[in-house]
């Protein structure tokens, strides 16, 4: 009887050991899986977005650089290759250039009245193009014409595809040695060169990542170049609006087909002396397809973890009698850790499997602790104010460096609102630091609502705060004034802390970079000085640094 009871007890102990051990591994797997999933998803989205931005900028650069190169070729011909005395020689030269650069669909040289005298293939010779922009706009300076259809020329040129032919124009005025206007050298570039650029760069990306490329004209607000089914279609997208405003970046947004896409965007800004056509360049990748690798990673983690759990359970079942005591100590340590207490996985010598398990658990816990500690310290200590959760001075320094670079690229201003709370010290002195801290936290919450996603709200210390706004160069004062009014109105509203109703206010000094100073530190100091002057005038108001009063 005793033997049976002992045997039953032994079997129960083995089962308990296996379940606890497997549960520990499962718990650690859940934590690792969650961290890996969220970290990988966040990193992958950022990576996809940045890759789309870089690729859109590359395509933008290639399109503009191509146009600039063709412009240089036409300019050189206009300066050194146009001899009106020998039309045949002129035609041979133009056809030689066309043969070397097939993107040129047609060259033509007109006289001062707009009649074509010489052209490649003799096309349109003797005909007048005096009413066309390629002539009228190039009488005094170079002319670039955006994508358009040329009905007459399209009928004369070979067109194997059968699709409507589109052209881009480049023309230069021709002058005699005495400076008299003699005519125009006009060139039609076939729009097929853009498709070649698209194919060269986009085909590898389309095969591997299913990325699609769009060129949108601001002149007609429609797709110039894109998947065949979308050519000529008008788009109403936030990314397109941002690109037309001169911004570069990426968004995750819904397209007309109802699908959500990562969308990278930028705007054509020209290359060297080629001013560009202001095209918006969009690249998109289906969100569901793009993040599929995260799901696959999750499956791999779970599959691997499951195999590890089964293997460990089998070993534990076989060796439970020998290793019961060490495992009990490990379980106790794990329980202490799960309750948030400080504990260390013990080390036992003599049993290789136990040593391996203990070391594996130690490594896993160390990795998790380091990851959580590093993320926590980076977010909470290095960049966040401990009381309010707003950015601190460290975050401000890093942000201003990056924000200045972006502002310079986008021709934007940075508007700094340096603010100090009115009547805060009496609250702190009367009701104590706990109420004062709660008040600062509510102030921080209201200030968060005054800035956009790419802007920053900072607690500088005490009851001093700073808002950094990104504003258009044309109206930074108006934006600063509008936000300052909102902040003043928001902080005038009563604060409810426990049973207390508190009324305070704020005073704001405003300075704008680069209008008020070339160095951002100098502008910050000017905002502080403006705050001081505003306080002297009676508080609960705002004052610009460039206001001498």
Query: Nearest-CA neighbor of 51 among 196, 268, 215, 205?
Result: 205
Task: Give a yes or no: residue 182 inside a domain.
Answer: no
What pLDDT, on the 0 to 100 scale, is given for residue 8? 42
Q: Are residues 428 and 540 in the same domain?
A: yes
Task: Give a yes or no: residue 388 inside a domain.
Answer: no
Query: Model-level pTM?
Result: 0.45
Query: How are beta strands 500-502 and 412-422 bridged, if at all?
Result: unpaired
CATH code, domain with 524: 3.30.70.270
Q: Are residues 367 and 414 in the same domain?
A: no
pLDDT digits (tens, 9 = 90+) for 488-540: 999 999 999 988 899 999 999 999 999 999 899 999 999 999 999 999 988 88
What pLDDT, on the 0 to 100 scale, is given for residue 44? 65
Q: How many helices (H) and strands (E) does the chain have?
A: 14, 17
Mean pLDDT lowest among 190-194, 222-226, 373-377: 373-377
Last residue of a domain, which of 341, 359, 382?
382
Mean pLDDT lowest among 47-56, 377-386, 418-427: 377-386
Alpha-carbon span 125 to 98, nearest angstrom: 17
Task: Give a yes or no: residue 121 inside a domain.
Answer: no
Read off the pLDDT of each residue in 19-46 and give the average, rounded to a whole number.
65
Last residue of a domain, which of 359, 382, 405?
382
Other beta carbons within 10 angstroms of residue 193's beta carbon come to 19
Alpha-carbon span 254 to 260, nearest angstrom: 4
Q: Are residues 517 and 430 in the same domain?
A: yes
Other beta carbons within 10 angstroms of residue 459's beta carbon come to 24
pLDDT digits (tens, 9 = 90+) for 251-308: 888 988 888 888 888 888 888 888 877 888 888 888 877 777 666 666 766 677 677 6
Q: Are residues 414 and 317 in the same domain?
A: no
What pLDDT, on the 0 to 100 scale, is given for residue 364? 63
Q: Is 500 left (phi over 0), alpha (psi -120 to 50) or beta?
A: beta
pLDDT digits (tens, 9 = 90+) for 300-344: 666 776 776 677 666 666 656 655 666 667 677 667 766 656 666
Instruction: Please check the confidence at residue 544 and state whether its pLDDT lies above 60.
Output: yes
Q: Are residues 532 and 409 in the same domain?
A: yes
Q: Are residues 352 and 411 in the same domain?
A: no
CA-CA distances (angstroms) from residue 267 to 189, 205, 326? 21, 21, 65
Last residue of a domain, which of 350, 382, 414?
382
Q: Are residues 470 and 346 in the same domain?
A: no
Task: Give a yes or no: residue 180 inside a domain.
Answer: no
Place of tokens 């080629």: 274
Task: Give a yes or no: residue 39 inside a domain.
Answer: yes
pLDDT digits (tens, 9 = 90+) for 356-386: 766 776 666 665 565 455 545 555 566 888 8
Mean pLDDT lowest among 18-27, 471-480, 519-528: 18-27
Alpha-carbon span 251 to 283, nearest angstrom: 11
Alpha-carbon span 279 to 205, nearest angstrom: 21
Alpha-carbon span 63 to 122, nearest angstrom: 29
How many domains, in total, are found in the chain?
2
Q: Are residues 337 and 468 in the same domain?
A: no
Alpha-carbon span 311 to 325, nearest angstrom: 20
Q: Are residues 403 and 525 in the same domain?
A: yes
Helix H or strand E segment including 294: helix 292-338
Q: Are residues 399 and 378 in the same domain?
A: no
Q: Are residues 409 and 526 in the same domain?
A: yes
Task: Give a yes or no: residue 284 inside a domain.
Answer: no
C-beta separation of 218 from 246 below 8 A: no
Task: Give a yes or no: residue 436 inside a domain.
Answer: yes
What DSSP state is assigned to residue 217?
E
Task: Give a yes or no: residue 298 inside a domain.
Answer: yes
Residue 466 is part of which domain span?
393-544
Q: Are residues 405 and 526 in the same domain?
A: yes
């Amino acid at each position: 009887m005793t033997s049976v009871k002992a045997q039953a007890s032994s079997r129960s102990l083995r089962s308990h050991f296996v379940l606890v051990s497997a549960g520990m591994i499962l718990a650690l797997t859940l934590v690792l899986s969650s961290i890996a999933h969220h970290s990988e998803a966040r990193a992958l989205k950022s990576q996809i977005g940045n890759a789309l931005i870089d690729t859109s900028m590359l395509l933008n650069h290639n399109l503009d650089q191509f146009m600039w190169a063709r412009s240089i070729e036409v300019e050189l011909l206009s300066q050194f290759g146009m001899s009106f005395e020998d039309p045949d020689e002129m035609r041979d030269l133009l056809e030689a250039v066309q043969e070397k650069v097939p993107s040129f669909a047609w060259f033509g040289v007109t006289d001062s009245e707009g009649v074509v005298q010489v052209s490649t293939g003799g096309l349109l010779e003797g005909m007048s193009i005096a009413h066309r922009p390629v002539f009228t706009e190039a009488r005094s300076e170079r002319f670039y014409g955006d994508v358009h259809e040329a009905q007459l020329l399209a009928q004369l040129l070979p067109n194997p595809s059968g699709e409507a032919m589109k052209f881009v124009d480049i023309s230069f005025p021709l002058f005699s040695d005495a400076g008299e206007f003699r005519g125009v050298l006009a060139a039609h570039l076939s729009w097929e060169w853009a498709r070649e650029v698209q194919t060269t760069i986009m085909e590898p990306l389309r095969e591997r990542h299913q990325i699609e490329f769009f060129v949108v004209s601001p002149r007609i607000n429609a797709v110039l170049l894109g998947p065949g089914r979308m050519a000529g279609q008008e788009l109403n997208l936030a990314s397109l609006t941002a690109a037309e405003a001169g911004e570069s970046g990426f968004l995750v947004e819904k397209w007309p087909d109802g699908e959500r896409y990562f969308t990278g965007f930028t705007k054509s800004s020209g290359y060297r002396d080629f001013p560009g056509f202001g095209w918006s360049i969009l690249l998109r990748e289906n969100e569901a397809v793009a993040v599929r690798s995260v799901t696959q990673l999750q499956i791999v983690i779970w599959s691997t973890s499951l195999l590890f759990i089964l293997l460990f359970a089998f070993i534990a079942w076989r060796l439970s009698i020998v290793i019961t005591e060490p495992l009990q100590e490990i379980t106790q340590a794990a329980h202490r850790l799960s309750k948030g207490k400080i504990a260390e996985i013990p080390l036992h010598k003599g049993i290789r499997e136990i040593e391996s398990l203990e070391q594996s658990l130690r490594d896993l816990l160390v990795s998790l602790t380091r990851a959580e500690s590093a993320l926590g310290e980076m977010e909470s200590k290095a960049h966040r104010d401990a009381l309010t959760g707003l950015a601190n001075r460290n975050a401000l320094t890093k942000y201003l460096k990056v924000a200045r670079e972006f502002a310079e690229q986008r021709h934007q201003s940075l508007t700094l609102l340096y603010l100090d709370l009115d009547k805060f010290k009496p609250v702190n002195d009367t009701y104590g630091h706990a109420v004062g801290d709660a008040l600062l936290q509510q102030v921080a919450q209201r200030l968060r609502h005054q800035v956009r996603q790419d802007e920053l709200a900072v607690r500088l210390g005490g009851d001093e705060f700073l808002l950094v706004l990104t504003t258009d160069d044309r109206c930074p004062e108006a934006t600063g004034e509008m936000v300052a009014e909102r902040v003043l109105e928001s902080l005038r509203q009563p604060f409810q802390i426990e049973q207390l109703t508190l009324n305070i206010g704020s005073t704001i000094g405003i300075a704008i970079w680069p209008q008020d100073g070339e160095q951002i530190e100098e502008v910050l100091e000017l905002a502080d000085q403006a705050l001081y002057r505003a306080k002297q005038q009676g508080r609960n108001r705002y004052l610009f640094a460039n206001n001498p009063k």
